[in-house]
Amino acid sequence: MRKFIIFAGLLAGVALFGGAPAKADLGCSCVKFGSPAVCTATVIDCNFKVGGVCLAPCDYQPKKAKMSKKKM
């Protein structure tokens, strides 16, 4: 019985502290009926701006500003 408890503790420790580090830039995979899924920054953006439902987390990459080219 003691071996089982030790094994369960080790397994729980590996599950909690093993693996890849957590990402801070997770977004929300927003799905709206009749349109393709998009990744939004927050659940509120998904609900109010897109009008969809958040189903799963996704890797959110904010849009980068384009560099303007001046004609000479």
Q: What are phi and psi of 36, to 5 degrees?
A: -70, 155
Question: Which one has a higher pLDDT value, 8 or 55?
Answer: 55
Please give the average per-residue pLDDT across 55-66, as a whole number.
81
- Calpha distance 15→70 (Å, rounded): 54
Return the pLDDT at 18. Answer: 54
Return the pLDDT at 26. Answer: 78
pLDDT tens digits for range 25-58: 678 888 888 889 888 888 888 888 888 888 888 8
Residues ≥6 apart with Cβ < 8 Å to 68: none
Return the pLDDT at 60. Answer: 82
